[in-house]
Amino acid sequence: MWDQQNKNPTPNPKGGQRKPRELRELVIHIAQTTGFGYTRIIGELRKMGIKKISRQTVRNILKEEGISPGPDRTWKIPLSLTTRNVNHVFQFSDLTA
């Protein structure tokens, strides 16, 4: 028969073990200071030698903290800026030809 005393006193309702507080704080710090998305945050952690974290874990940590996954990549480039850059590129290409 299953013994109630052997049960973990602080179960994780989502399953699996929670990541250490320091790792969670590091993920949050990277997300807030850089605006990186999940994959780039994992890349930064791997550069620091932290290998045992998945994209889903980073996603869950940010979601629990109410942090959006990354910068809004839907912004529009002003037409004047685009036109100016295109004109500059064509002028430069005329000089090299």
pLDDT at 49: 93
pLDDT in tens, the chain (97 residues): 455 555 555 665 666 677 888 999 999 999 988 888 899 999 999 999 998 899 999 999 999 999 887 665 555 555 555 555 555 555 555 555 5
Measured CA to CA in angstroms, residue 25 lies from 4, 14, 38, 82 at distances of 33, 19, 15, 39
Q: Domain extents for the chain?
A: 15-71
Give the span between the Cα atoms of 85 and 16, in whole angstroms.
Answer: 51
Grouping H, G, I as helix, E, B as strand and the rest as coil, residue 45 is: helix
pTM for the full predicted model: 0.57
